[in-house]
Amino acid sequence: MKDSGYPPVTNDRWAFMAILIAVSAAFAWILLPFLAAILWAVIAAILFTPIYTRLLGKMPRRPSSAALLTLLLIVALVIVPAAILTMALVGEATAIYDRIQSGDIDPAQIVATFRAAMPSWVTGFLHNLGIDNLAEVRTSFGAGAADGVRAVLGQALQIGQSLFGLLLKLSVMLYLAFFLIRDGEGLKRRVAAAVPLRSDHLHRLVERFIVVVRATIKGTIVVAILQGLLGGLILWALGIEAPLLWGVLMGAASLIPAVGTGLVWVPMALYLFFTGSFWQGAVLVFCGLFVIGMVDNVLRPVLVGRETRIPDYVVLITTLGGLQLFGFHGIVIGPVVAAMFIAVWDIATDMRSEALGAPPPV
């Protein structure tokens, strides 16, 4: 055996583990700025791999073409509608802001009308909170609007850089999704060979991850889109101003478990009642309970089923925690971490039961 020139090492296991952890941590640190892009690339691959498989069945010798067609489908079904919605939303929000700046919409007058129609116990409550001074409301709002304009003008360069960063992360997401879709099975086998876990445990964790991601996207994002769409259409039919903006807010509020779209339509219905628009308020309450609310009650069990087996209170806490830590991406990260937590402890319980020779708990 040829001498390598290095001193002999009797046991380098721990030294190699330290190097492995250090290099892996450095690699994760480098990827940290693109965490969101990587996350959504993985989600896109999980959701659209069945479509890729069907396309590959029609063109078995052209995996790259099948992956490219799948990627174009992602762009057409997800990216383009999201971009159009964002532009329309920005236009509507800008129009409302301009009307507020010009005085066409007076927040203080709206508060005054709302306050005049309130019962005495409600006005007393507002007085105790110190928000019944309409002049102060107008002054505070005007100062805040002016500060907002100055901030926008002063941060123009940063806004441009943010747009460039968004496009860069979107490109990274699509580029990575292409390879995850095309080479996903091979990557899965390589990871399975490298991870020091029993095959049944690894399979259990991977399946749990995939099930929770699919259930979260189908049962949360799809329901949020439908509820926001229905809410916007109902508000448009009732003649409420900026229905697109309010619809988007309803969709965003539906992401919060146990609260949902009521966070938006309940105060709006109260405002309609207090300002004399009784029939609009009654219609909004009816639609909020039996139309918008039914979407969540009917579709979510159908789309999600009982596959995730995560208690509702755990979903609530982890979703709110994920939103707090990771923003919008937390709606997926939170439930996925919860599912992995439950799955790992289930495996640990099974391993302990095996070691003790006892049957696994139900």
pLDDT in tens, 51-96: 999 999 998 889 999 999 999 999 998 888 888 877 777 777 777 7
List the one residue out of 33, 97, 84 whose CA is nearest residue 248: 84
Residue pair 209/333 in contact (Cβ under 8 Å)? The answer is no
What pTM was estimated for this model as a whole?
Answer: 0.70
What pLDDT was estimated at residue 181? 93
* First-last CA distance in the chain: 56
10 Å Cβ neighbour count for 209?
16
Q: How confident is the model at residue 136 (pLDDT cuts 50, 70, 90)?
A: low
From the DSSP assignment, how many helices (H) and strands (E) are in the chain?
Answer: 17, 0
Looking at per-residue confidence, does 122 or 88 come out higher? 88
User: Given phi > 0 = left and psi -120 to 50 = alpha, else beta, which region is 6?
Assistant: beta
What pLDDT was estimated at residue 48? 92
What pLDDT was estimated at residue 348? 82
What pLDDT was estimated at residue 150? 45
Residue type at position 102: S
* Dihedrals phi, psi of 294, to nearest 5 degrees: -65, -25
What pLDDT was estimated at residue 13? 76
Name, in order, each residue with C-beta under 8 angstroms of 268's C-beta and a sequence gap of 6 or more.
235, 240, 246, 284
| Rounded CA Rg of the chain | 27
Give mean pLDDT, residues 5-31.
79
pLDDT in tens, 282-329: 998 898 888 888 887 777 766 665 556 677 677 778 878 888 888 778
pLDDT in tens, 177-219: 999 999 988 888 888 788 777 777 788 788 878 887 887 787 7
Residue pair 253/261 in contact (Cβ under 8 Å)? The answer is yes
What whole-number percentage of the chain has pLDDT above 90?
A: 13
Whether residue 252 is predicted with pLDDT greater than 60 in this model: the reply is yes
Looking at per-residue confidence, does 108 or 73 come out higher? 73
Q: How confident is the model at residue 7 (pLDDT cuts 50, 70, 90)?
A: low
Which contacts of 258-266 are long-range, i.e. CB under 8 A and separated by 24 or more positions? 258/312, 258/316, 260/227, 260/293, 260/296, 261/227, 261/231, 261/288, 261/292, 261/293, 262/288, 262/293, 264/231, 265/231, 265/292
Q: How confident is the model at residue 5 (pLDDT cuts 50, 70, 90)?
A: low
For the record, the structure tokens of 170 come out as: 């979107």
Q: How far apart are CA 309 and CA 268, in angstroms?
A: 35
Q: How confident is the model at residue 152 (pLDDT cuts 50, 70, 90)?
A: very low
List the one residue out of 52, 54, 49, 33 whose CA is nearest residue 173: 33
Using DSSP, state whether 70 is helix, strand or coil. helix
Range in 46-60, 101-115, 139-153, 256-270 the model is least confident about: 139-153
* DSSP conformation class of 298: I
The structural domains of the chain, with segments of one domain joined by +, span 33-194, 197-351
Residue pair 80/191 in contact (Cβ under 8 Å)? The answer is no
Q: For the chain, how long is the longest CA-to-CA vector?
A: 95
What pLDDT was estimated at residue 157? 42
Give mean pLDDT, residues 224-238.
89
Average pLDDT, the chain: 77
Whether residue 141 is predicted with pLDDT greater than 50 in this model: the reply is no
Whether residue 349 is predicted with pLDDT greater than 70 in this model: the reply is yes
